[in-house]
Structures are given as C-alpha cells and as structure tokens.
Structure 1
C-alpha cells in the first residue's frame, strides 16, 4: 500500500512532482526533501522551521505532547485498545444525524462521535482522508461501517503514524506524517475529508480550510468537529466560507460531549487510564484539561458556554 500511496503524493509546499529514491522523495521544482520510513513516509517540509519559526514551535509542541501520550499508553499496557483520544458523544434529546448505531463496547462514545458527524454522507466506495488521524480509530471505524474505496490517515506526529502503520491490516488504508496546513496531495484528490478535534492546534486555520477545499473534488464533503471558544465560531465559519466551502450543517453538540466526558472520566482516571499515568501527567502539563475531565478548565468552559463543541458538514460546490 505504501507504493500505491507514494504514486499519489505531491510536494507539501509547492505541490510539485516528486522524484523517488529508496529512502527519500525530492521535489523536482522546489527541491524539498522527504523521508521514506519502513512502513510510512514523512511529508513534513522542515524548511518551515526557518520560514515560520513561531508556527513551527507550536507544531513541535503538539508533536511532543502526542509522542508522550503514545509512550504513556504503551507503558500502561492498554495502547492497543486506545485508538481514540476524542471526547466522544452521547445521544440526548437533541436532533441526531447518525444512520448507523455502533456495536463497540470499548471506545463506543468515540465511535458514536464519528458516526454522528458522518450522518448520511455518501462514503461507501469513496476516497477519504482523515486529517489529524491520531491513533487510527476513525480510519478503522470508517472501514468497518462505510467501506470506502480508499482511506488515508495524515497526522503531524510520527509516533501516531508509526503506531497506525504497524497496527492496521487494512489494504485500503495508508498513513503518512504530514501537516494539515500543507497537505501533500494534488487538487481534487478526495471525496470526503474528516477532521475531528484537531484544528485547534493549527496556527493558520485559514490555510487549513483552503487546503481542505483544494484537495476535495467537486461535491466533496468536509466532516468537521472542533471545540471552539464561543467568540471564534462565527470567525471560523467565515474563514471556511471564504475558502469556498458551503456550510450545510452547523450544530452545537456541547451537552452531548459533556455527557460523554462524564462517562469517560472513570475509565481515563482508572489504574491504567491516561490521566493516572505518571509519565503522561509529568510530561503533558495539565492532562486533565487535555482530555476535558470534569472540573478541568475546558470542561467548565463548555459547561458555562464559553466554549462550544461544534459539529459541521460542509460541501465544495
């Protein structure tokens, strides 16, 4: 599957054609260089460290945090089960969009979140990319419930992609290290783009939305969830519309997510939970806030309305 993926890639920075050797890819136009690992390829253009040092510093922080999480999960012995890190979703009395009910016991709320944002979107036999794929839970669930033609998981953290590449047995799926603001695929490459709880970490949100628009085909759908400060909701919608995306659903599902955080708390603070792991707590700062445990800053801000968990569907017309 790696060779199949390599044939589809373009330069992250200039979208130029790539020349391939055994261990590297190099752009024929701008000379950017990328590395081919055993199971995956890294499409990060390290020149950004010089060109945009403040942005890259923030991205390095995200890579460090998620690498520590991967390490702590491996040490805890539950790494193979922890394929999701999102807050999850629990149905209540508001409007529901999912057309499939998950049958999972482990990670059920996280799978429900995916199925709810997907709703009735046509995914079967389509080309799908999960931007910010984390530990691959969404990729596995998309394959199980929707049977896409192809699946690509992109994440900026090498530890996440190494885990996904080693664990996944899906012939339809491939994974690569990449930047959501510089997606290494040509225009009109995908029918569906997914982004769950990841865009808050991107320094240039407008650039990310423009990249999503660029890689989607005409009629393609962007499935998107994010925890936003209340005053950022309208701004983010405006940026997406300026990028060319049309909003067809924009729903506040904060109560559903809060209920899921309540249900997840016992598991995540248990003996093997991520919030109880000394390695994670020591190296990721406020781990309770990171996973929105009850009483944490993010949890309380959702509870009092200062933050909203938005679930959106957008289309490239």
Structure 2
C-alpha cells in the first residue's frame, strides 16, 4: 500500500481518523469498521443499507452487474484483455483537445476517449484518483502517457478492484473498494479527479459532486464524462457549480461516441466480444444497451439527441 495515500484514508461516513487492528480499519469517531483483504481494502460502510435503503439497493444492482461481467470474462478467458468498458471516441472534424494520439490497437477508441477527456490538463507528477475505475484501463493509460506521481482507483464493485489489484502489479497505484458518494480520503487529497461513464449510476448526484470538490486541492481539475438526458444537462451543470466547481469545458461529443459505438460493434459482438461473454439479462438492463450497440435503446436515444454524451473539465478555484 502506498504510504502517503494510506495516511490520507479516512472514515467513509464521518471522515474521522482510522486505526488499524490486524485486518480491520476502525473509525475513532463513529466506530465504523472496514476490512483489509489480501488484495484490497474495502471502505464500504454497510450501515448505509439501513440509513439509505433505496439508494443502497440501486448500488447493489450495479455491484451485481459488474460482478457478473467480471465473472463472465474470467470464464471465457478474455479477462486479461478486457480492461475498458467505455463507449470510446472517434474524431469527426469537431475541435480535438488531446495532445497525444493513442498507439493502442486493441482499445484505441477507449484510450482516445480518455485522452480527449484529459485534453491539455497537466497530469505528470500530480496525484490522481479515478472514481468508478472499473477494470483499470484508464489508470494503465494514464501511467503510460502521463506519468502521474500516484493514482488511486476506487470502485464500488469488489470484483473490479480484485481484478485491478492483480492486473496492475508493479504500477504505482492503490486500489480500493469504495462509494463515490462517500469517498474515504481526507480533504484536499488530490490534484486530479477522473470520472468517466459512471455518475449516471449514483443515486445522489449532489453528494457525489460535493465529495469531488472536498477531496480536490485548490487549482485541481475534475475530468468528467457522462451520458446525460438532454433535459438534465443544464441541471447537472448547475449542481456542479453549486458544489463549488467552475466549468472550463463543457462539450457535446455524442457524434464522436456514436461513431465509436459503430466501430466497436463488430469486435464487441464477435466470438471474443463482451456481448457474447457477459450475461444478457443484467440487473439494470441488457448487455446491448449497457455497451450501446447500434439499435439498442441507449444508442438510438443518442442518435435522436434525447441523450447527450458530455465531456467536461472543471476546476476548484
């Protein structure tokens, strides 16, 4: 465990100081208890099930879906290649922000999406957290192209974090199970916060935005992408600003994402693709909609403009 990151861990719920006793971390303030596995730390406060039962039920659905996908990948033998699940990005004549072009052939569109999201933001020698890190593809790419000082991967699904912990040995990264609405780090712990295609699953969006603001240092940047309902974009921007963040970029890249979905369709529906290697009856919808295959509800809504893929950079002043 990276010592400077471990020292900044706090209680997910009350942000109190933690003390370690064997394989447990206990809060000195509210007595919350967290577990230390041989592969990762779990910073989920199970008391949330009682305090916010409906929210927790939704989160459990996300955990089940991603666990099923991870298990399916492992059984099919393609797990080591499946590090990205995002929609990807293909240039289409609109303004490009990336200063680096990806050289990854297998996940080129997914890496391009990350590089466009980063744009001209300085990452080198800065402390980064990827909230909703999934299977670690973004973290591996950030190290490859930008060399941050350190990076944390946080995800609510233990299967994702277990995979990342094994996959990325030797990389300067610290992975833990945690809730984006209850981030277990002290105030002003990070220079860069990354969140890609994840926030739509969070029941309490305002709480997430407030947590992002809290853990960012002054001058820090929030790199954020999400597929949003068109009539919710302005509201979400308002919530971000109410949390204290200033928008420096807010770009509609739906057309670029749709092109990527078109290009990805053949690979993702092929013998080794996610559509043939994940359970088609997921808790929160079928796999075709999950990856926005052409013809799926999500794909058609993007095409019609009722959902927009927004790419945002925000700063803490």
| TM-score for both structures, normalised by structure 1 | 0.98
Query: Would the alpha carbon gap of residues 169 and 205 (structure 1) be closer, same or farther in structure 2, given more than 3 Å must change?
Result: same
Q: In 2 relative to 1, CA 135–190 (structure 1 residues): closer, same or farther, beyond 3 Å?
A: same
Question: Which residue of structure 2 lines up, in the alignment, with residue 181 of structure 1?
Answer: 181
| Separation (CA, whole Å) in 1 of partners of 2:287 and 2:39 | 30
Unaligned runs of 5+ in 2: none
Question: CA shift at 1:293, angstroms?
Answer: 0.1
Contact 1:157 1:177 in 2 (8 A): yes
Aligned residues: 316
For 1:200, the equivalent position in structure 2 comes to 200
How big is each residue's C-alpha offset from its partner over 1:229-266, in whole Å with a ceiling of 9 and x where there is no partner? 00110000000000000000000000000000000000
Partner of 1:121: 121
Please show how residues 231-310 of structure 1 align to structure 2 within 5 Å.
Answer: 231-277=231-277, 279-284=278-283, 285-310=285-310
Q: CA deviation at 1:7?
A: 2.3
Task: Note if 1:20 corresponds to 2:54.
Answer: no
Match of 2:11? 11
- CA distance in 2 between counterparts of 1:144 and 1:87 reads 21
Q: Distance in 1 between matches of 2:60 and 2:79?
A: 23
- Take 2:166 and 2:211, find their aligned partners in 1: how far apart are those partners? 28
Q: Report deviation, 1:282.
A: 3.8
2:49 is aligned to 49
Q: CA deviation at 1:286?
A: 1.1
Distance 1:185 1:170 in 2: 23
User: Once the two structures are superposed, what CA deviation does each residue of 1:49-78 show, in whole Å capped at 9, x if it has no partner?
Assistant: 000000000000000000001011111211
SS state at 1:281 partner = coil
The CA distance in 1 between the partners of 2:21 and 2:36, in whole Å, is 9
In structure 1, distance between residues paired with 2:32 and 2:172: 28
Task: Tell me how far 1:5 sits from its aligned partner.
Answer: 3.8
| 1:280 positional shift | 1.4
Name the SS of the counterpart of 2:144 in structure 1.
helix
Corresponding residue SS for 1:280: coil
Deviations 1:82-141 (A, max 9, x none): 100000000111000000000000111000000001001011000000000000000000
Deviations 1:262-292 (A, max 9, x none): 0000011011211123x51144541100100
CA–CA separation in structure 2 for the residues paired with 1:236 and 1:48: 24
Where does structure 1 lack aligned partners over 5 or more consecutive residues? Answer: none
Alignment of 1:79-90 (within 5 A): 79-90=79-90
Distance in 2 of aligned mates of 1:152 and 1:187? 15
For 1:170 and 1:195, the matched residues in 2 are separated by: 23
Q: Distance in 2 between matches of 1:209 and 1:5?
A: 21
Q: Does the 8 Å CA contact 1:155/1:176 hold for their aligned counterparts? A: yes
- Say which is worse superposed, 168-177 or 26-35, in terms of deviation: 168-177
After the TM superposition, which of the residue ranges 74-83 and 111-120 deviates more from structure 2? 74-83
Alpha-carbon offset, residue 8 of structure 1 = 2.1
8 Å contact from structure 1 (residues 274, 280) kept in 2: no
Aligned to 1:157: 157
